[in-house]
């Protein structure tokens, strides 16, 4: 790989440094200062190589997007000719259609914004619905989505000798089936009906759950209500223990508490978003992705 500098922010420092270690690259940090009126002052490193990789996960995204735009402008002014964004969690991907008259299609807006700002975008398991390929949402030169399924599978092999993997809704089936096949576990997929941000109804498929060690697998936990309901149904069905593994631990408001109160024993997550439940590093997967396009 030609000379590349990885730059990041304090809020995602540990993960950026892990990526640097995997690639044997240098790391420098972008300095932020917040003014009393809410504006941000951004100060990037100078004397830059031609290729700079900016690492930041885009949960709680609104301020972060402004800071990214300011950073990209300063990086290009100080010598960066190619800028790659590694955003393990990618925001605003769910709204891919105008579901009600007047709604902004945020996937198109933010996708174009990122494509205009960065030469390449790398992310982990983006929350796409009708759009199948990331480049359709982010028309950059390279738009690459990698999956956490392999790393989650290896983690499960180290942690468990057997278990029933359970996807809490039909959207999770793609990850659950792939992981189950890789580790040799059985799996089931629940059905979910959502009636609001925190109102969901989960039903399990017909099968015997008595005595099972169930492991819920989902791409993200936001409000936690889906995982909580699935856990409650599994325990009511006789499961002896329920754990949960999520790719993107958003855990908004009281989500983690809700999940734990439902009876989930352990919650594990990847480090796509910095959180106390992080147990699965994505550094090697992201390093391989960067090598692929560098």
% of the chain surpassing 90 pLDDT: 89
Q: What's the pLDDT tens digit per position in 70-97?
A: 999 999 999 999 999 999 999 999 999 9
Higher per-residue confidence, 191 vs 123: 123
Please say whether the beta carbons of 216 and 241 come within 8 A. no
Return the pLDDT at 232: 95
Return the pLDDT at 129: 80
Return the pLDDT at 195: 56
* 92: region left, alpha or beta (phi > 0 left; psi from -120 to 50 alpha): left
Close Cβ partners of 125 (under 8 Å, ≥ 6 residues apart): 145, 146, 147, 148, 149, 175, 219, 247, 248, 272
Return the pLDDT at 198: 60
Return the pLDDT at 202: 87
Q: What's the pLDDT tens digit per position in 105-116?
A: 999 999 999 999
In terms of Cα–Cα distance, which of 224, 181, 180, 165 is closest to 200? 224
Q: Which residue has the tokens 């990209």?
A: 72
Averaged pLDDT, 232-253: 97
% of the chain surpassing 70 pLDDT: 98
Question: Residue 131 pLDDT > 90, yes or no?
Answer: no
Averaged pLDDT, 161-188: 92
Higher per-residue confidence, 198 vs 60: 60
Q: What's the pLDDT tens digit per position in 19-42?
A: 999 999 999 999 999 999 999 999
Structure-token pair, residue 112: 């174009």
Please say whether the beta carbons of 265 and 245 come within 8 A. no
pTM of the model: 0.95
Close Cβ partners of 59 (under 8 Å, ≥ 6 residues apart): 89, 91, 248, 250, 273
Question: Residue 171 pLDDT > 90, yes or no?
Answer: no
Averaged pLDDT, 194-206: 76
Q: Is 208 helix (H, G, I), strand (E, B) or coil?
A: coil
- pLDDT, averaged across the chain: 95
Structure-token pair, residue 108: 């198109």
Return the pLDDT at 139: 97
Averaged pLDDT, 226-242: 96
Return the pLDDT at 197: 58
Question: Residue 192 pLDDT > 80, yes or no?
Answer: no
Determine the Cα–Cα distance for residues 221 and 57; give it in Å rounded to an integer. 15
Question: Residue 242 pLDDT > 90, yes or no?
Answer: yes
pLDDT band of residue 132 (cuts 50, 70, 90) is: confident
């Amino acid at each position: 790989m030609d000379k590349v500098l990885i730059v990041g922010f304090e809020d995602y420092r540990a993960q950026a440094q892990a990526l640097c270690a995997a690639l044997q690259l240098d790391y420098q940090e972008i300095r932020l200062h917040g003014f009393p009126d809410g504006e941000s002052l951004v100060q990037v490193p100078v004397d830059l190589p031609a290729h700079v990789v900016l690492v930041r996960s885009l949960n709680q995204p609104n301020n972060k997007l402004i800071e990214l735009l300011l950073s990209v402008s300063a990086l290009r002014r100080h010598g960066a000719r190619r800028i790659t964004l590694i955003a393990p969690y990618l925001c605003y991907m769910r709204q891919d259609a105008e579901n009600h008259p007047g709604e902004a299609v945020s996937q198109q807006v933010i996708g174009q914004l990122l494509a205009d700002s960065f030469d390449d975008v790398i992310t982990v398991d983006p929350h796409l619905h009708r759009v199948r390929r990331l480049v359709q949402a982010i028309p950059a030169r390279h738009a690459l989505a990698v999956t956490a399924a392999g790393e989650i599978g290896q983690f499960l092999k180290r942690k468990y000798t057997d278990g029933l993997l359970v996807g809490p809704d039909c959207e999770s089936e793609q990850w659950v089936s792939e992981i189950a096949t890789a580790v040799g576990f059985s799996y089931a997929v629940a059905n979910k009906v959502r009636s609001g941000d925190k109102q969901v109804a989960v039903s399990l498929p017909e099968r015997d759950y008595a005595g099972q060690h169930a492991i819920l697998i989902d791409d993200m936990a936001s409000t936690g209500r889906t995982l909580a309901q699935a856990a409650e149904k599994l325990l009511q069905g006789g499961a002896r223990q329920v754990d949960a593994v999520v790719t993107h631990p958003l855990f908004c408001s009281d989500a983690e508490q809700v999940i734990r109160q439902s009876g989930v024993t352990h919650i594990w997550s990847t480090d796509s978003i910095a959180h106390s439940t992080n147990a699965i590093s994505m550094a090697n997967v992201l390093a391989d992705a960067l090598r692929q396009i560098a």
